[in-house]
A and B are shown apart, each in its own frame.
Chain A
């Protein structure tokens, strides 16, 4: 893959094929953690870290372990194990070196393991036959797209707190509708081709 291919891949992953607004990967934490812009940014960075590393790790596991032994069908199991291990490692790392972030992320940190975004990025990289650099770049930029979505949305939600929707809409429903409007905005990017 040439350098411009990689750039194109990244641009598309962030805007055109945004993991949340176009593909829905990573919704649970998106709808859960996006309350405050600071936590959102922290979550985004943690996810970016995990997804970049997992892009590398899953590529290696797939091509060096699964393919030679014709065990491709075990990729879901293998990938999720790799991701769980990575998250565990990052948890220990943050607890030791960045305790403030560790505390503010709370339960959402171990939940990165079940974040669809991480597993999807790994599976899609294999599906699209990306090489090592492509895999890492894809993980990284999809995560950036996720972070962009989550931070923008946190800003929206901060404003939402001062609105007074009908009782039935309070809480989750109005959040979803706000997300829907944002998704419409992002839909404007589809069809963009460099």
Chain B
């Protein structure tokens, strides 16, 4: 007799909780579907903006194949006449423990890293070490140790990123 009511309670509790879970999951999926497009187009816009910072004459960019690790995409940037301006590397660095840092790295036609912009970061103290447009100004700033305390973890990310890109051996474009 006792077992019967205990079982009934467990079943009742379980199916009700499940029902709540399903309703919540459905609502969340609906919001996800609605926000998917804005999120993706926002990402694209931010990346393009970053590329434009290094190459103001950017008109189009073409994705190139690469297998270097950490690189999400390699873009060959062209001006409106189709002339090559340089490369942009969409790089995901692990700032060791502070979170994933997505960066766009500008590379000149000679294969040298000319600039780096953080596209997304998850450390709330990092803001004070970036200039207004989110750039580490120049490579020396990134390599120097004036990025202090709150940003040491991203310093690692920056250094790793620059090293990785320079190892890619880009350069000498037609």
A and B found bound together: yes
Q: Which positions in A face B, CB cutoff 8 Å?
A: 8-9, 12-13, 17, 73-74, 77, 124, 127-129, 187, 190-191, 193
Report if A127-B100 is in contact (Cβ < 8 Å); known contacts: A191-B148, A191-B152, A193-B152: yes
Cα distance A12–B98 in the bound complex, in angstroms: 10
**Which residues 15-46 in B have Cβ within 8 Å of A in the complex?**
24-25, 28, 32
Is B28 a contact partner of A128 (Cβ separation < 8 A)? no
Number of A-B contacts (CB under 8 A): 36
Is A128 a contact partner of B94 (Cβ separation < 8 A)? yes
Count of interface residues, chain B, beta-carbon cutoff 8 Å: 15
Show 24 A/B contacts (Cβ-Cβ < 8 Å), sorted by A: A8-B96, A9-B96, A12-B96, A12-B97, A13-B97, A17-B97, A73-B28, A74-B25, A77-B24, A77-B25, A77-B28, A124-B99, A127-B99, A127-B100, A127-B122, A128-B96, A128-B97, A128-B98, A128-B99, A128-B100, A187-B149, A190-B152, A191-B148, A191-B149
Chain A residues whose CB sits within 8 angstroms of the CB of B122 once the complex forms: 127
Q: Which positions in B face A, CB cutoff 8 Å?
A: 24-25, 28, 32, 94, 96-100, 122, 148-150, 152
Cα distance A12–B122 in the bound complex, in angstroms: 17
User: Counting chain B CB atoms within 10 Å of each CB, which of A13, A128, A129 scores highest?
Assistant: A128
CB distance from A104 to the nearest CB of B (A): 29
Select which of A8, A9, A74, A190 is within 8 A of B28 by beta carbon.
A74
Q: Knowing that A74-B28, A124-B97, A190-B149 touch, tell me 8 more A-B residue pairs with CB under 8 angstroms.
A: A77-B28, A124-B99, A127-B100, A128-B98, A128-B99, A129-B94, A190-B150, A191-B148
Cα distance A187–B148 in the bound complex, in angstroms: 12
Chain A residues whose CB sits within 8 angstroms of the CB of B28 once the complex forms: 73-74, 77
Chain B residues whose CB sits within 8 angstroms of the CB of A124 once the complex forms: 97, 99
CB distance from A18 to the nearest CB of B (A): 12
Chain A residues whose CB sits within 8 angstroms of the CB of B25 once the complex forms: 74, 77
Cα distance A74–B22 in the bound complex, in angstroms: 12
Chain A residues whose CB sits within 8 angstroms of the CB of B150 once the complex forms: 190
Cα distance A9–B156 in the bound complex, in angstroms: 14
Cα distance A148–B94 in the bound complex, in angstroms: 27
Instruction: Give the 4 A-B residue pairs with the shortest CB-CB distance, closest first.
Output: A190-B149, A127-B99, A191-B149, A12-B97
CB distance from A187 to the nearest CB of B (A): 8
Instruction: Report the nearest A residue to B92, measured CB to CB.
Output: A129
Report if A73-B94 is in contact (Cβ < 8 Å); known contacts: A128-B99, A128-B100: no
Is A9 a contact partner of B94 (Cβ separation < 8 A)? no
Chain B residues whose CB sits within 8 angstroms of the CB of A190 once the complex forms: 149-150, 152
CB distance from A142 to the nearest CB of B (A): 10
User: Counting chain A CB atoms within 10 Å of each CB, which of B24, B25, B96 scores highest?
Assistant: B96
Cα distance A128–B121 in the bound complex, in angstroms: 12
Instruction: Report the nearest A residue to B28, measured CB to CB.
Output: A74
CB distance from A156 to the nearest CB of B (A): 24
Cα distance A13–B100 in the bound complex, in angstroms: 16
Cα distance A129–B25 in the bound complex, in angstroms: 25
CB distance from A51 to the nearest CB of B (A): 15
